[in-house]
Structure 1
């Protein structure tokens, strides 16, 4: 297998990030989110959103990292300072996804390690992320990497769907 490179996302990555985003949702959330919603996901719409995010990041953003193998973007992680009222002093992994074709190849591990490092370098001793309830693959992945459930839940209302998520936390430095 070719080496994996982690780098900061660039504006021209928006289409590839969106493709990974849509394909990973469609694979990881099958059976957890209504299939018509998953089938209706649009790479073009996500790409437009990613162009905005990359051009005008949130004030809390620490960036978006991408994993590239053989000149192909195979995953991404978006991260920053915490956005939850009880986690403002913490870092947050806003989202992390690998293309289903890159699952179990080390892409997710490399992205998560790089995200943890960047969050630590920004001065956060702790970080959190949210996992869709029922996403056993993600829960097992995060558990292997030391991310623990803390009992917090949130319900996010989006057009045509409701997402129930649970929070995982990790102490990054002592």
Structure 2
């Protein structure tokens, strides 16, 4: 983890699109080695992800709190982000979904990811969600352990296609968001997150 201690969480704005894209690309290129072909990871570009995130962030005001994106920031630099949404209809009994969560590798295992999950879950809970779903590539043992430590229950495993690649993913869920909140609050954190 970085030696910088102060981290703040705030809602993302359109101006954050490039930084969010950079975090996503860096996280994919380090996290998904040996799960996704190196040729795909090596060809990932911030510019491609930037346009995607710019569109998402531009659409946020119309979505209200049904969709949310938060960034983790330290000394003016975005070090991570998380997003979530209420589902139009329940999947596996879950009413909302954690759609993305990424941290720069130097900041992983510092407690920031747990706080970002909690921030997204609280926002969606305030919109009426009582449950939360998240999908993860099945070979990503670190992420799977993270969700299990937070009390996530394995719900489903399935094949899916991403940019022409055949992959497997697993879905974890919390049927009661208060269980997730209690898990986050019970774990020690090693950085100062506001």
Structures share fold, TM-score greater than 0.5: yes
Q: What is the aligned partner in structure 2 of residue 158 from structure 1? A: 162
- Residue 168 of structure 1 aligns to a residue in which SS? strand
Q: Is the 8 A contact 1:17 1:73 kept in 2?
A: yes
The verdict on how the C-alpha distance between 1:87 and 1:104 changes in structure 2, with shifts beyond 3 A counting, is same
Instruction: Note if 1:122 corresponds to 2:122.
Output: no
Q: What is the aligned partner in structure 2 of residue 100 from structure 1? A: 105
Q: What is the aligned partner in structure 2 of residue 12 from structure 1? A: 15
Instruction: Note if 1:91 corresponds to 2:96.
Output: yes
Cα distance between partner residues in 2 of 1:69 and 1:19: 15
Q: Is the 8 A contact 2:82 2:117 kept in 1?
A: yes
Give a deviation string over 1:96-151, Cα, whole Å, max 9, x none: 1111121122221111111111121111111110010110000111111111111x
- Residue 41 of structure 1 aligns to a residue in which SS? coil
* RMSD over equivalenced CA pairs, Å: 2.0
After TM superposition, the runs of 4+ consecutive aligned structure 1 residues lying more than 6 A away are none
The verdict on how the C-alpha distance between 1:88 and 1:48 changes in structure 2, with shifts beyond 3 A counting, is farther
Q: What is the aligned partner in structure 1 of residue 72 from structure 2? A: 67
Name which of structure 1's ranges 3-12 and 50-59 shifts more when overlaid on structure 2: 50-59
Q: What is the aligned partner in structure 2 of residue 25 from structure 1? A: 28
- Residue 20 of structure 1 aligns to a residue in which SS? helix
Cα distance between partner residues in 1 of 2:162 and 2:94: 27
Q: Which structure 2 segments of 5+ residues have no match?
A: 180-194
Equivalent pairs counted in the alignment come to 173
